[in-house]
Structure 1
Amino acid sequence: MFRKFILFIPALMLLGACAEIKLATHTVKKITNTVTKTSKGTYKIGKPYQIKGIWYYPAVNYGYVEKGVASWYGPQFHGKKTANGEIFDMNTVSAAHRTLPMPSIVRVTNLENGRAMNIRVNDRGPFAKNRIIDLSRRAAQLLGFKRAGTALVKVEIIADESRRIAMLAQKDKTFFAKAKREDVSVVKLGSKQKVTTRIHKKPRPQSRITTKFLDHKNDTNVVTLVPIPKTKRIFVQAGAFVYRDLAEKMQKLLDPLGPTRVVEAIIGKRRYFRVQVGPAPNVKQGDELLNQVIASGYPTAKLIVE
C-alpha cells in the first residue's frame, strides 16, 4: 500500500504540471494579439477617389495643419492590409489619413489633456465626415482617449521627417515598414527627467509594465505633455468662398439651424471666407449639428475645432 502511494505522488505531480502548462498556454493565447507577419509596404500618394459621394484628393502637403476630431480603429482591421500594403497592427502606433502621402509623420496633440506624439500615417481614412484622423488602438491609448472613442485634436505634418522617409521609401521602392516597438515616454515640459514606459517586443494587453527614468534622444513614440488652450470650441463649417457676398448668402440660409458666422482666413496667398455654424458644446452635439447641416444640402460640411 505504501509503495502504491509513493507511485501515486509523481503521477499527481505530473497531472498538476500538465494542467499548469495547459493553463499557461491558454492564458498566452488569450492575451497575445499581435501581428507577427512582416509588413511589406510601398510609398504611395494615390489618385483621387470617391467615398459615399465625397471626392478626396491625395497630395503632398508639407504645410498641413488641421484641428478637428480624432477617432480610433482596431479589432475589425487587425491583421489586414493597409492602403499602402502594410499589415495593420492595432497594438502598434500608426494612423490613417484621407489625403497625406503614405508614409508620413504627423504630430497629433490631444487638445483635451495635452498629450502629444509623432505618429506614422500608413493607411487611408477615416471616412466619417466629422473625423480628420483615425489612430490605431495603441495610439489612442497613449493619447488618452481610447475609452472615450474620440478626442479634439490638432494634427500637423512633420515636414522634415516626412520628406526623409518619403525619399527612403521611393529610393527602395519597396520597404519593410514593420513598426518598431520602442520605449514609450511620457515627458512633462520643463522637467529634466523623462518617465518611460517600457513595452515588451511583443506587446500584450495584460503584460507587465515597468517604469524607469531614461534619457531619450529619439522622439519616436514619445508622449509629451504640452500646454493646451483652456477654451476649445466646435463649429460646423458648411463652406468656404473667395467672395464674401457668397459666404453671407450661405450664412442667411443656415440661420435657422442656430448661430452662424463668416470667418476670414488666409491660406497661402488667397483669402477665403468660411461659413460656420455653432459653437457646439461637445463632440456628440457637434455630430448632431453636422448631420443637420448636411441634411440641409451641404454634403461637404465638416467639424472644425478652434
Structure 2
Amino acid sequence: MARANLVKLAVLGVTIAGLAGCSSPPPPKPPAAVPAPVEPKPTPGGSYKVGNPYQIDGVWYYPRVDYSYNETGIASWYGPGFHTKVTANGEAYNENELTAAHQTLPMPSLVRVTNLENGRSIVVRINDRGPFVSGRIIDMSRRGAQLLGFDQQGTAKVRVEVLAEESRAIAAAAMNAASQVAGVSPDGGPVPQAAPRPSVTVESTPLAPPAGTKAAPGSAIPPKVAQATPAPARTIAAPTSLAGTTTDDGRFLPAPVVEQRAVPAKPGKIYIQAGAFASYDNANKLRAKLNSIAPTNLSNAMVNGTQYFRVRVGPFDQVERADQVLAQVLQAGTSEAKIIVD
C-alpha cells in the first residue's frame, strides 16, 4: 500500500509540473537581425546629371547649367574613406584620377582649377556633389590636390573656371539618346556631332557541295542577306583640345598636365561676400548689420551693364579666421554668404 501511494504521489507531482510548464509564457524570440545597408553600385561611365535644388545642414543649393562659371574661393580635397564609393552621377570615385566635387555645376563638366598661391593649374572633371563645409568652393580628388600643391596643408585659394566647349562635348557624350538626336546641349546650344559613319554589311555565302555530290535536302544556298551593324551607344567624340584619354565606359580622363600661370605678387585677400544688390540702400543696410561681426564694406561691380553693390566682410589673412566669421554671418541669417579671394 505504501508503495502504491508513493507511485500515485510521483505521478501527481509529474502532472502538476507539466501543467505548470504549460502555463508559463514561451521564451521571447530573439530580435530580428537588422539587414546591413546595401551599398549602391556604380554605373559604368556614370550619367549626365544636373539635379534638383537640395538642402544640406540648413543650406540650399541650386544646381544649374552655367558654362560661364568663373569663381574664386577656398578648395579642399577628399579621398580616404571615399575611394571606390559611388559619386553623385553614379561613377566609382577614384582618388587617383583628376576629378572633383562641386555643389551646383552639371556632372560631368570640365573645369580649370588654378592655385592662386603658387600658380599651378590643372583641368579636372566634375563628377560629384560637395563640398558641404561652409566656405569651400570645390572638393578636389587626392591626386588633384597633390598636383596643385596643397595636399599637405588641406586647403588653398583657387580660381575655378568652366571650360565651356569641352564641357558641352563630354555632357553630350553622357546624355541619353533622345537628347543627342535632338542635337541640343543642356543649355540649349548646339552640341558637337560625330562624323557620319558608313553602314557596314555582312554577306553570308555557304560553301557549295564538293564536285560529284549532291546537296542534302533543305541545304540549298540561301540568298545573300545584308545585316547592318548596330549603332554605337555613344557617338560624340571626346574633347580634342585637351590632353586626356577616354575609358572603355566613355569617361574622359584629363591628363595630369600642370600649367604654370602668373600669380599676383601679393596673394589675394580672403573676403566673405554676403550679397550683391542693385539697390545701394539694401546693400548698406546689410553692411550695417554685419559690421558688428567684423569690418564690412561696400564695393561696386558692373555686371552686364548693371551696377551692383557688393557687401564684403574682411579681408582675412587666414582661412581659419574666415571660416569662423562666415559661421557668424550665416547665423545672422545671410544664407547666401560665401568665401571669395580677391
Shared fold (TM-score greater than 0.5)? yes
In the aligned structure 2, how far is the partner of 1:246 from the partner of 1:102? 35
User: Which of 82, 98, 107 in structure 1 is aligned with 2:112?
Assistant: 107
User: Which of 256, 261, 281 in structure 2 is aligned with 1:226?
Assistant: 261
**Does the aligned pair in 2 maintain the 1:44–1:103 contact within 8 Å?**
yes
**Does the aligned pair in 1 maintain the 2:98–2:123 contact within 8 Å?**
no
In the aligned structure 2, how far is the partner of 1:266 from the partner of 1:101? 27
* Pairwise CA distance, 1:38: 8.0
In the aligned structure 2, how far is the partner of 1:103 from the partner of 1:94? 10
Q: Does 1:241 align with 2:246?
A: no
Residues 270 and 220 of structure 1: CA distance in aligned 2, closer, same or farther (over 3 Å): farther
Q: Which has the larger radius of gyration?
A: 2
- In the TM superposition, 1:190-229 aligns within 5 A as 220-229=255-264
**Deviations 1:105-160 (CA, angstroms, capped at 9, x unpaired):** 00000011110011100011111120000001111011100010000000000011
Moved more, 277-286 or 163-172: 163-172
- In the TM superposition, 1:98-137 aligns within 5 A as 98-137=103-142
> Could you say what secondary structure the match of 1:140 adopts?
helix
Partner of 1:299: 335
Partner of 2:286: 250
Partner of 1:272: 308
**Does the aligned pair in 2 maintain the 1:69–1:130 contact within 8 Å?**
yes
In the aligned structure 2, how far is the partner of 1:38 from the partner of 1:170? 14
Give 1:146's aligned amino acid.
D
**Does the aligned pair in 2 maintain the 1:63–1:159 contact within 8 Å?**
yes
**Does the aligned pair in 1 maintain the 2:47–2:174 contact within 8 Å?**
yes
Structure 1 gaps, min length 5: 1-36, 176-183, 186-217
In the aligned structure 2, how far is the partner of 1:238 from the partner of 1:277? 7
Q: Does 1:73 align with 2:78?
A: yes
Partner of 1:287: 323
**Does the aligned pair in 2 maintain the 1:110–1:151 contact within 8 Å?**
yes
Structure 2 gaps, min length 5: 1-41, 179-232, 235-242, 245-252
* Pairwise CA distance, 1:167: 1.4
Residues 295 and 38 of structure 1: CA distance in aligned 2, closer, same or farther (over 3 Å): closer
**Does the aligned pair in 2 maintain the 1:129–1:301 contact within 8 Å?**
no
**Does the aligned pair in 1 maintain the 2:294–2:314 contact within 8 Å?**
yes
* Pairwise CA distance, 1:47: 1.2
Partner of 1:191: none
Give 2:69's aligned amino acid.
Y
In the aligned structure 2, how far is the partner of 1:97 from the partner of 1:262? 28
* Pairwise CA distance, 1:92: 1.3
Moved more, 111-120 or 280-289: 280-289
TM-score scaled by structure 1?
0.71
* Pairwise CA distance, 1:171: 5.0
* Pairwise CA distance, 1:282: 1.5
In the aligned structure 2, how far is the partner of 1:268 from the partner of 1:166? 27
